[in-house]
């Protein structure tokens, strides 16, 4: 059985583990050595019950730099790892399902997109990005900041997944489709534990398009994909779009993609999307993953770097 079929129809995952690791890898490449060191030091101070610092391995044949990079990258998936109810203390204290998205409700009438304001929107992703950004600038303890860093890594990735900014209202889903979680792609009689929906299709688009056929390690599988994305969307060409002080712009972009490019005329309920749809989805995802990584790095460089002195700014 494939990993994809193990997820229930209703899920609020942003990019899957591969997507989050790609974004974190791209961010790590753009972070300064000073910022890398500061971020890792804070992450290692995470509260013991968060079980975050346990993902750092202080031994082994790999270089310290490789181990630090791996730790940073795994931290981006920590907010999904803590969904595991087998660790009830960690789950109850740190898991928050409605932090992973920030829906804008909308509908289509006569070929035009209209916002729906009569239904309360859901999701706290944008609030939490702002909250954790302020936390990192405060005099809070490193333990608090460690949790904040992991959430920032994750939420920046999440909000770049277009369906984490969208709730489409239709006659079928009058209260919104929950980021396409209610838009099923498998036949109507499919058992719940084998159902797939449009949201998960987008979450897992990289793995769908580029399967890890050889069961390779992250270094062998994920990192080359991330480097290829960086070649397609180099930092120099994306730098003008960072909007590091305006995360609402990141959400706006995702919403525009979701409302104009995801629910295409050829997309049908209870049918898997075409190969052409999948190729286009991967192209969109590649750009979103690149932007998320570059923006994460720019934000972290700003938050954790040494501000320039008056002498160096002349």
Averaged pLDDT for residues 242-250: 98
CA angle 94, 294, 53 (to 5 degrees): 30
Integer angstrom CA distances of residue 243 from 22, 148, 238, 289, 295: 20, 20, 10, 15, 8
pLDDT band at 157 (very low <50, low <70, confident <90, very high): very high
**Tens digit of each residue's pLDDT (9 = 90 or more) over 4-32:** 333 333 444 557 899 999 999 999 999 99
Average pLDDT over every residue of 291-305: 98
pLDDT computed for residue 241 by the predictor: 97
Using an 8 Å Cβ cutoff, are 103 and 169 in contact? Answer: no
Token code pair at residue 3: 């990993």
Strand partners, 58: none
Sign, Cα dihedral of 237, 243, 249, 255: positive
Pairwise CA distance, residues 73 & 287, whole Å: 19
Q: How confident is the model at residue 156 (pLDDT cuts 50, 70, 90)?
A: very high
CA distance 129 to 249: 13
What is the chain's length?
Answer: 314
Q: What is the DSSP letter of 44?
A: T
pLDDT mean across residues, the chain = 93
226-242: b (≥16 Cβ within 10 Å) or e:
beebbeebebeebeeeb
Q: What is the pLDDT of residue 309?
A: 60
Rounded to 10°, the helix 275-304/247-257 angle is 180
Give the Å distances, CA to CA, from 213 to 2, 4, 113, 207, 258.
Answer: 12, 14, 40, 10, 30
In tens, the pLDDT along 19-76 reads 999 999 999 999 999 999 999 999 999 999 999 999 999 999 999 999 999 999 999 9
Contact 301, 38 (CB under 8 A): no
Residue 130 tokens read as 């702002």
Comparing C-alpha atoms, which of 73, 43, 28 is closest to residue 144? 43
Per residue in 205-238, pLDDT (tens digit) is 999 999 999 999 999 999 999 999 999 999 999 9
Q: Give me the sign of the Cα torsion angle 262, 264, 267, 273.
A: negative
Confidence check: pLDDT of 260 > 80: yes
Closest among 174, 182, 171 to 269, alpha carbons compared: 182
Of 84-93, 152-161, 305-314, least confident by mean pLDDT is: 305-314
Domains of the chain: 11-170+227-260+283-305 (1.10.575.10)
Neighbours of 280 (CB within 10 A): 16
Do 206 and 22 touch, CB atoms closer than 8 A?
Answer: yes
Which pLDDT score is estimated for 291? 98
State residue 131's pLDDT score: 98
Name the band, by pLDDT with cuts 50, 70 and 90, for residue 285: very high
């Amino acid at each position: 059985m494939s990993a994809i079929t193990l997820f229930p129809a209703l899920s609020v995952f942003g990019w899957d583990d591969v997507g989050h690791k790609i974004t974190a890898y791209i961010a790590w490449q753009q972070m300064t050595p000073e910022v890398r060191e500061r971020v890792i030091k804070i992450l290692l101070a995470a509260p013991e019950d968060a079980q975050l610092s346990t993902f750092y391995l202080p031994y082994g044949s790999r270089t310290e730099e490789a181990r630090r990079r791996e730790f940073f990258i795994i931290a981006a998936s920590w907010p999904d790892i803590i969904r595991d109810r087998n660790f009830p203390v960690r789950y109850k204290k740190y898991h928050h399902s409605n932090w992973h998205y920030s829906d804008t409700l909308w509908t289509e009438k006569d070929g035009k997109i209209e916002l729906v304001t009569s239904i309360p929107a859901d999701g706290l992703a944008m609030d939490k990005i702002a909250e954790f950004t302020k936390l990192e600038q405060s005099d809070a303890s490193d333990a608090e900041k460690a949790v904040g860093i992991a959430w920032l890594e994750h939420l920046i990735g999440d909000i770049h997944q277009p369906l984490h900014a969208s709730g489409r209202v239709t006659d079928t889903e009058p209260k919104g489709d929950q980021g396409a979680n209610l838009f099923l792609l498998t036949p109507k009689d499919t058992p719940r534990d084998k159902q797939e929906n449009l949201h998960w299709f987008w979450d897992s688009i990289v793995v769908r398009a580029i399967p890890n056929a050889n069961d390779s390690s992250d270094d062998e599988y994920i990192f080359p994909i991330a480097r290829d994305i960086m070649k397609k969307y180099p930092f120099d060409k994306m730098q003008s779009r960072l909007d590091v002080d305006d995360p609402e712009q990141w959400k706006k972009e995702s919403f525009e993609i979701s409302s104009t490019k995801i629910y295409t005329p050829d997309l049908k309920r209870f049918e898997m999307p075409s190969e052409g749809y999948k190729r286009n989805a991967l192209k969109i995802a590649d750009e979103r993953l690149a932007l998320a990584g570059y923006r994460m790095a720019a934000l972290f460089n700003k938050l954790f770097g040494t501000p320039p002195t008056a002498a160096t700014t002349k």
